[in-house]
Amino acid sequence: MQTPLDSLQARLFAMQDSAYKDFNKKLIPTVDEKTMIGIRTPVLKQFAKTLFKTEPDLVTAFLGALPHQYFEENNLHAFLIENIKDFDTALAETERFLPFIDNWATCDSFAPPLFKKYPDKMYQKILEWIRSSHTYTVRYAIGLLLSNYLDSQFTPAALELVAGVHSEEYYVNMMIAWYFSFALIKQYDAAIPYIIDRKLAPFTHNKTIQKAIESRRIPAATKDYLRALKIQS
């Protein structure tokens, strides 16, 4: 007999786009393509929104059914968390889900809007997550600092926090580079000393500069200056 979760999985396969799967699997090489269904993100986000509103019991069952089998089930899980309206519940569900994230795409795909409304509480949680031994928990913490703490909630301490992450993991170091490239865009005066003084690992240092000079929001003269700060191998 088919369970409600089996039925949900069948509904996901009904949204399959094989051409998109072929495209997507090249972007996420750490995910076994056999676990990919192939669903475009806007389609899956809309499905999550509708499911959350109309089938709460199924949502509860699905959120409790970790680990999931398919990449898109993990993404659906993330998008459902984004629909939660209570901060404590959204935080608890995020914390429960983080250890099951196994790729950059799922990690970067969700940030509950409620998190921006509680910056102090979230910053304290980020301080915990960024010290995790789990690659994508660390990446998620840095990603939140990038999206939520480089504007009105900016604090120079966050730069020091991210610069203090030392990892051999590619997907952690790439997020550090993304973070500092955005810091150079939004908080240049505070961020540039980290490049001048070479406080980042050489790979991350150079990736930061590469990502920054690709931005249209950085003046040409500043890009030239940043190029001169690259570490030569």
Q: 160: which 2 tokens?
A: 């020091």
Q: What is the pLDDT of residue 1?
A: 67
Q: Please report the DSSP string for 16-50 in residue order.
A: --HHHHHHHHHH-TTS-GGG-----HHHHHHHHHH
Rounded to 5 degrees, φ, ψ at 17 are -125, 100
Query: 3-state DSSP call for residue 91?
Result: helix
Tens-digit pLDDT profile for the chain (233 aa)?
A: 678 899 999 999 999 999 999 999 999 999 999 999 999 999 999 999 999 999 999 999 999 999 999 999 999 999 999 999 999 999 999 999 999 999 999 999 999 999 999 999 999 999 999 999 999 999 999 999 999 999 999 999 999 999 999 999 999 999 999 999 999 999 999 999 999 999 999 999 999 999 999 999 999 999 999 999 999 97
Whole-model pTM: value is 0.95
Find out whether 148 and 180 touch, Cβ atoms under 8 Å: no
**pLDDT (0 to 100) of residue 37:** 97
pLDDT at position 2: 74
Contacts 24+ apart (CB under 8 A), 28-32: 28/71, 28/103, 28/104, 28/105, 30/102, 30/103, 30/104, 30/171, 31/71, 31/102, 31/103, 31/105
Q: What does the pLDDT read at residue 233?
A: 77
Tokens of 57: 């019991």
Which residues are CB-neighbours of 137 under 8 A, at least 6 positions away? 98, 99, 101, 129
Provide the pLDDT for residue 230: 97
